[in-house]
């Protein structure tokens, strides 16, 4: 299990990324961007479970990352991974942060997303 603060610490140390919050309507939605191009490589959102076809009324944090399409199919068969919420489902994946996915696996996927979105 990982939380958004741990992700922010990781991307700040590794990529010198500071999360930005571009939407007044969604103050908890944090965008992770490349410093040189402003291109997104990650998005953390707090989304109602019902919008993700999950049981429950509460909201959960998810992380959207760009991913190699050859990995997406196998990842989505595992607990904690979902089709990308509000992103291209062929190239992006959503990760439930409150799941059993290890920090190391999430950090590896963040690194991959960062590399895939470089100019």
Domain 4-116 has CATH 3.90.1150.30: yes
The side-by-side arrangement of strands in the sheet containing 92-96 is: 30-33, 40-48, 59-66, 92-96, 81-83
Rounded to the nearest 5 degrees, what angle is found at the Cα of 95, between the Cα atoms of 35 and 90?
80
Q: Where are the domains of the chain?
A: 4-116
Q: Which pTM does this prediction carry?
A: 0.94
**Mean of pLDDT over the chain:** 95
Phi, psi of 9 (to 5 degrees): -65, -45
Residues 18 and 31 sit within 8 Å (Cβ to Cβ): no
Please state, as a whole number, how many other Cβ atoms lie within 10 Å of the Cβ of residue 44: 21
Q: Would strands 81-83 and 59-66 be described as parallel, antiparallel, or unpaired?
A: unpaired
Query: What pLDDT, in 10s, does the model give residues 44-86?
Result: 999 999 999 899 989 999 999 999 999 999 999 999 999 998 8
């Amino acid at each position: 299990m990982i939380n958004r603060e741990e992700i922010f610490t990781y991307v700040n140390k590794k990529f010198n990324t500071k999360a930005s919050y571009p939407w007044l309507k969604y103050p908890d939605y944090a965008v992770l961007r490349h410093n040189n191009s402003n291109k997104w490589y990650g998005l953390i959102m707090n989304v109602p479970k019902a919008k993700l076809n999950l049981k429950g009324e509460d909201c959960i944090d998810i992380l959207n990352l760009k991913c190699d399409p050859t990995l997406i199919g196998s990842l989505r068969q595992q607990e904690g991974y979902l089709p990308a919420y509000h992103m291209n489902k062929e190239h992006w994946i959503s990760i439930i942060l409150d799941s059993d996915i290890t920090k190391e696996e999430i950090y590896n996927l963040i690194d991959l997303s960062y590399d895939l979105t470089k100019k």
